[in-house]
Amino acid sequence: MGKPDDQDPAHRAPATAVVHLGRDPFAHHGFVNPPVYRGSTVLYPTLESLEAKTQPYTYGRRGTPTVTALQDALTALAGGAATKLTASGYQAVTTALLAFAETGDHVLVADTVYEPTRQFCDYLLRRLGVETQYYDPLIGAGIAALFRPNTRLVYVESPGSQTFEMQDIPAIAEAAHAKDIWVLADNTWSSPLYCQPLALGADVVIEAGTKYLVGHADALLGFITSNARAAKPIERAAGTLGVCPGSEETFLGLRGLRTLDVRLARHQETGLHLAEWLRARPEVARVLHPGLSSDPGHALWKRDHTGATGLFSIILKPVQKPALAAFLDGLKLFGMGYSWGGYESLVIPFDCTSYRTATRWPPEGPALRFHAGLENVGDLIADLDAGFARLRAAS
């Protein structure tokens, strides 16, 4: 740090940690932010240094000081041993799975994972001779009954994509570790600030930095943070696969980190406010948000999380397509599109019927996923209120 500080920033409150981690101003002439190192070639001053392989940086793909700055900050925040940045969140998912899965293995994946994760398992892992079995995310310690002698890993994502089921990560990790099975956790919804899967027993945390870390819908980035046991296999797989983030994207991740705590606080507050408001609407059958005390996953969320972010879903009461279109098409502040975690509010219809295999879907009516952005919550509610008026008029 710029000034002597006997307290490691990683051990300070999150708001302080995100401001101070991964910066060393006086290593850069006092400029508060680390510079963006761009480059492939790294020069070695002597033959001896080339042969000794002791330089901290050897080639752009293997890392730069900008990459190290963000990796170190994320490692400290997650309480891990090492972090590997990737070019996207999805690449973090695939790299982590490839780091452990081998031909002949059996892997257990929550039925509620991010849907492209399933595609990777069903297409690429299958071709490599790895069998994927999807399990009910509510299984908890019951996961032990699914273990086989060749089970290599359990993949969790809590809350689940689209439908927000909470998983009992400590119970799953305890059962898995008793059989030497790895536990991988996609923690994108929570970010490193609101859940610490490594402390809950996971070996590897996977996140799409694209979402809240970058926070402005202007870059793709991912990261994998491992405990000491998992760091080597992740490092080896990422290096072998040639996984590396872009220079500019890495900087945008570092910049996003500085405001992560304040942005998340607003996403949380607005998300909860919208969820409560929607729950009281006559057009809404159910709200899926573990931060609501009425949610079936609330007790687990409260035990394992320090906050809720801005992404949640609702199930509408049955309604015809034209009425749904009238609701969505006329929204002024909620954009319709994929991804989330930026400053803007979003809504997207979804239907898990075609791909979930271990749990039952569809529900009683159309499902919508909302992302609460950083706008004024009153304005957002007025936008939704006008939408429901259009929906009723078209019904």
Ligand X SMILES: *Cc1c(COP(=O)(O)O)cnc(C)c1O
Q: Which chain residues interact with ligand X by CB under 6 A?
A: 88-90, 93, 114, 157, 161, 186, 188, 208, 210-211, 220, 222, 339
Catalytic-role residue among 61, 126, 303, 360: 61
Distances in Å between the Cα of 152 and the Cα atoms of 4, 181, 182 are: 45, 5, 6
Q: How far is the CB of 80 from ligand X (least distance, A)?
A: 18
Q: Is 198 helix (H, G, I), strand (E, B) or coil?
A: helix
N-terminal to C-terminal alpha carbon distance within the chain: 61
- Whole-angstrom distance, CA of residue 70 vs CA of residue 250: 7
Active site residue 114: yes
Catalytic-role residue among 37, 84, 111, 114: 114
Q: Toward ligand X, which CB reaches closer, 112 or 227? A: 112
Q: How far is the CB of 10 from ligand X (least distance, A)?
A: 25
Instruction: Compute the Cα dihedral for 127, 128, 129, 133 and give only its sign.
Output: negative
Residue sitting closest to ligand X (CB): 89
Q: Toward ligand X, which CB reaches closer, 196 or 326? A: 196
Catalytic-role residue among 84, 152, 211, 263: 211
Q: Toward ligand X, which CB reaches closer, 215 or 387? A: 215
Q: Toward ligand X, which CB reaches closer, 25 or 247? A: 247
Active site residue 61: yes
Comparing CA positions, the residue from 125, 92, 129, 131 lying closest to residue 108 is 131
- Whole-angstrom distance, CA of residue 306 vs CA of residue 264: 11
CA dihedral (312, 315, 321, 327) in degrees, to 10, reads -50
Q: How far is the CB of 340 from ligand X (least distance, A)?
A: 7
Q: Toward ligand X, which CB reaches closer, 39 or 116? A: 116
Tokens of 283: 């057009």
Catalytic-role residue among 111, 168, 186, 304: 186
Confirm if 370 and 314 have CB atoms less than 8 A apart.
yes
- Whole-angstrom distance, CA of residue 388 vs CA of residue 392: 6
Active site residue 303: no
Tokens of 227: 């405990």
Q: How far is the CB of 390 from ligand X (least distance, A)?
A: 29
Q: How far is the CB of 90 from ligand X (least distance, A)?
A: 3
Active site residue 37: no
Enumerate the active-site residues.
Answer: 61, 114, 186, 211
